[in-house]
Structure 1
Amino acid sequence: MEIISSFLILLILFVVLIIKLGVKIVSQADIYIIERLGRFHRVLDGGFHIIIPFFDSVRAKLSVREGLVDISRQQVITKDNVNIMVDGIVFLKVFDGRMAVYNVEDYKKAISNLAMTTLRSAIGEMSLDSTLSSRDQLNAKLQMALGDAANNWGVKIMRVEISEISVPHDIEEAMNMQMKAEREKRAIELNAQANKEALIRNAEALKQEQVLQAEAIERMADARKYEQIALAQGQKAAMEAINEAALSSHAGLEFLLANERVKAFGELAKNTSNDKILVPYETAELIGSLSVFKEFLSPKKAKNKESAEQGEI
């Protein structure tokens, strides 16, 4: 009985070992590289799988999620002989587990070393200003260079980011001074441009103002012209009406003359000057009659004087 019990226990342990070695549950984010008797057999992706124990073995376990590889901080010399410190990050993803395991010993280390070499070469062809201002171009150039080599390793380079570029302290001070000078220059240019535009706009405004004034004067002259024409036409019509009324009746004409006299006396009454004499209408007629009588007597007086002179002769 003891032998049977021990055999059963060993059998159960053996079955458990077989199940443990033969059953593989792979995570969705991982892949298993399976070898059979030392050679590549297949790739297990996410899910439940069964392999043959002692014949099949897991050669490598890889993650198919997007990973990253650090580009170690290193000293690089630019085209204009400036020493700078550069580091970055490479984002990658395994798309072929077999190539990633059998085509390179350590694809992450290989990509890191290749990134450092490519970075030195790329920055060596660029000046300091281009390196600092053209990070996007540098990233694209690194991604293209790394992508060609990484495709042979079953890895896809998603993107490359240069995280930091450090320059020496004296170079940084010189760059700050240069930047300050450029900003002051730009401020002066912008100020001059603004003054120029202001002068142009003021000149245009003055020109527009003069044009508007000329148009206003022209319109006022036209208005006065039309007013005088209308007034002349009104006076002409009034004179024609007065003439027609005078021909038909003298009472209307006498009324107009009396009305004008009243207006004239009213204006004289408003004047505060003491050097004025108001003469009644009847007195004016009497003075007029005396003037006529004087003119009538003047010829007779001249005739008598002439006769006297002839008698003396």
Structure 2
Amino acid sequence: MMETSILVLTLVVLAIVFIILSVKIVPQGWEYTVERFGQYIKTLGPGLHIITPFVEQVGRKLNMMEQVLDVPEQEVITRDNAMVTVDGVVFYQILDAPKAAYEVRQLELAILNLTMTNLRTVMGSMDLDELLSQRDQINAQLLTVVDLATNPWGVKVTRIEIKDISPPRDLVESMGRQMKAERDKRASILVAEGQKQATILEAEGRREAAWRDAEARERLAEAEARATTLVSEAIGKGGMGAVNYFVAQKYVEALQSLAVAPNQKVLMLPMETTGVLGSLAGIAEIAKEALRPDPSSGGSGGGGGGATARTPRPTAPSAAPSPPGTGAGMASALSPSSLMPSVPAGPWAAPPPS
């Protein structure tokens, strides 16, 4: 009886061990390789699986999710003999579990060493300026090389990123001075170009202004020529009376401008006080000539054509003529004797000479 109980208990224990060894549960994102007497036969995906105990066993447990490896810092000498310290990260994913399990030993270490070696190769073929400004190009070259090298291992390298590039401190200071010098140079060039453009624009503006001034003077000269022509025609038609009218008008305007001057303490008068009366007399003469009756209208008188007889007013002998342009000459030109018209004889006039 006792022996039977022990046998049954033994069979139960063996059954439990057999079930434990034969049932395999694979979690999501993982794959197991199965070996029969040490030889690979199949791959178990996520889920529940049963294998033959003692004959088949799980060989490798592989993570099929994308994984990250940190590339440790290392010193790299560039093409222009500058030493920099570089580190980065590698993203990879296992696509073929049997190859990743049996084609390479220590997969992560192999990927890491391969990345570090190619990192030195790629960055050592570039100058420091290219190294600092073309990180995308470095990442692309590294990704191409490392992915091609890991393809036989059933691994896909999805991304390689350079985290930091650290030049020596003295080199950083030199680069700062170089950058400042280049910026100062560009600033000087921009200032010079701006001054050049300003000078060109100023010259063009002066040229345009000169052309406009010349055009304005030309228009003014044309207007003055036309006005002179019209005045000449008016004088030709009106005789000396029109000349006296224009002279008297300008004379009165000059006196008016003197009278309204802001400086009220000084008053300038003509040399002959009767000059204004002479100008007014000239205007009166023009008016009388305009109101004179037309001889062709049949006026009385013989041989005179109806004109009223006028007796010239005697004038006093003048002094020696003054040279033209002097005050005396202008005064004599505008004196009542020259501008005063001939008026009919009256009781105030002297009798005509016999």
TM over 0.5: yes
Q: Give the count of matched residue pairs.
A: 279
Deviation (angstroms), 1:128: 4.9
Give the conservation status (yes or no) of the 8 Å contact 2:24–2:51: no
CA 1:126–1:183 in structure 2 vs 1: closer, same or farther (change >3 Å)? closer
Where structure 2 has 5 or more consecutive residues not aligned to the other structure, the ranges are 260-267, 286-308, 316-341
Distance 1:221 1:190 in 2: 46
CA 1:70–1:289 in structure 2 vs 1: closer, same or farther (change >3 Å)? closer
Q: Given the alignment, which residue of 218, 221, 238 partners 2:217?
A: 221
Give the conservation status (yes or no) of the 8 Å contact 2:68–2:89: yes
In the alignment, does 2:119 pair up with 1:119? yes
Q: Secondary structure at the match of 2:312?
A: helix
CA 1:269–1:223 in structure 2 vs 1: closer, same or farther (change >3 Å)? closer
Deviation (angstroms), 1:178: 2.1
Aligned to 2:104: 104
Deviation (angstroms), 1:99: 0.2
Q: Which amino acid aligns with 1:69?
A: L
With normalisation by structure 2, the TM-score equals 0.60
Aligned to 1:172: 169
Aligned to 1:192: 188
Aligned to 2:208: 212
- The Cα offsets for residues 125-144 of structure 1, whole Å up to 9 and x where unpaired, read as 45555544544443333323
Q: Higher mean Cα deviation, 98-107 or 129-138?
A: 129-138
Q: Which amino acid aligns with 1:163?
A: K
Cα RMSD between the aligned structures?
A: 4.7
With normalisation by structure 1, the TM-score equals 0.66
Alignment of 1:86-101 (within 5 A): 86-101=86-101
Q: Secondary structure at the match of 2:32?
A: strand
CA 1:162–1:98 in structure 2 vs 1: closer, same or farther (change >3 Å)? same
Where structure 1 has 5 or more consecutive residues not aligned to the other structure, the ranges are 244-253, 301-313
CA 1:257–1:207 in structure 2 vs 1: closer, same or farther (change >3 Å)? closer
Deviation (angstroms), 1:15: 6.5
Distance 2:232 2:91 in 1: 102
Aligned to 2:269: 273
Deviation (angstroms), 1:151: 0.7
Q: Which amino acid aligns with 1:208?
A: E
Distance 2:177 2:169 in 1: 14
Q: Matched residues, percent identical?
A: 27
Deviation (angstroms), 1:61: 1.9
Q: Which amino acid aligns with 1:102?
A: Y
Q: Which amino acid aligns with 2:147?
A: G
Aligned to 1:29: 29
CA 1:111–1:178 in structure 2 vs 1: closer, same or farther (change >3 Å)? same
Q: Which amino acid aligns with 2:312?
A: G
